[in-house]
Amino acid sequence: MARLDGKVALITGGARGIGEAHVRRFAAEGARVVFGDLLEDRGAAVSAATGAVFVPMDVTREDDWERAVATAVDRFGTLNVLVNNAGILRHRLLTDMTREQLQQVLDVNLVGPWLGMRAVVEPMKAAGGGSIVNTSSIEGYAAAAGLSAYAASKFGVRGITKAGAQELGRFGIRVNSIHPGGIATELALDPEVAQGVEVDADAFFKALPIPRWGEPDDVAGAAVYLASDESAYCTGTEILVDGGLLSGPGY
């Protein structure tokens, strides 16, 4: 029996990177998957490869959330899992970032997951419970130069996760968070993302206890655990997927 047999999952940002790994892994573990993204061509390709249902989706729009949730319930009859994965990354020093850029990061990375949590409460209550998996970051624990907006959003995700765990536990809905470190995705490796900030990535990763970039599937494994009944007594939990980065200073 696969670990997610019988589960219906909604995953955001599923057309590439970590989100695509979630879609592929959840489908392989037996879940029926609906996923959203702004990248329609790539979403269609992932759908064709996995059998998952793709819906065009902007996580900052409430009507897009309503449509995605309705698609899952109408197609599969229920909704058991939400993975709030969609996010954006902008490296900008405080003095170089505009208020509009700050607001965009907060809207996608923090407001989007909050809207998603709210949107799935009623269908999960109807299902007798569920699991919400929010994607934060190591930047939700310790911020870095050039990531003030991103860190603010990811610290915020920790907060809404804890509050959601407190509010929704009585309905059988668990709310947990994943905190990836340096994961080798197109977004993380895009030189345009890191404007104004110099980082020696090779030296950085060589200093980790697990001295390599993380892979998207490393994060997907943690999401499968939190979505499955194996984590039935976990809520408000934070899982680091960071190669040991936050375990202590390197030598």
Secondary structure element (H or E) that encloses residue 10, with its range: strand 8-12
The residues pairing with 35 across neighbouring beta strands, listed in sequence order, are 11, 54
Coil, strand or helix at 200: coil
Is there a contact between 219 and 21 (Cβ–Cβ < 8 Å)? yes
pLDDT of residue 249: 75
Q: What is the pLDDT of residue 203?
A: 76
**Residue 185: predicted pLDDT:** 80
pLDDT < 70 regions, the chain:
187-201, 250-251
Q: Determine the pLDDT at residue 109.
A: 98
- The answer to whether the Cα torsion of 229, 234, 235, 236 is positive or negative is negative
Which CATH number is associated with domain 8-238?
3.40.50.720
Cβ–Cβ < 8 Å for 139, 150:
yes
Are 172 and 129 in contact by the 8 Å Cβ rule? The answer is: yes
Place of tokens 């993302």: 193
Give the residue carrying structure tokens 């998603």: 116
**Neighbour count for residue 76 (Cβ, 10 Å):** 17
Structure confidence by residue, pLDDT tens digits, 226-235: 999 999 999 9
For residue 196 the two structure tokens come to 């104004």
Q: What stretches of the chain adopt beta strand conformation (E)?
A: 8-12, 32-37, 53-56, 81-84, 130-135, 173-180, 238-241
What length is written for the chain?
A: 251
| Per-residue confidence (pLDDT) for residue 90, from 0 to 100 | 92
Asked whether the whole model's pTM tops 0.85, one would answer yes
Please list the active-site residues. Answer: 150
Query: Would you state the pLDDT for residue 192?
Result: 55
State both tokens at 162.
Answer: 């804890």
pLDDT of amino acid 108:
98
pLDDT given for residue 184 in this prediction: 85
Q: Residue 247 has what pLDDT?
A: 92
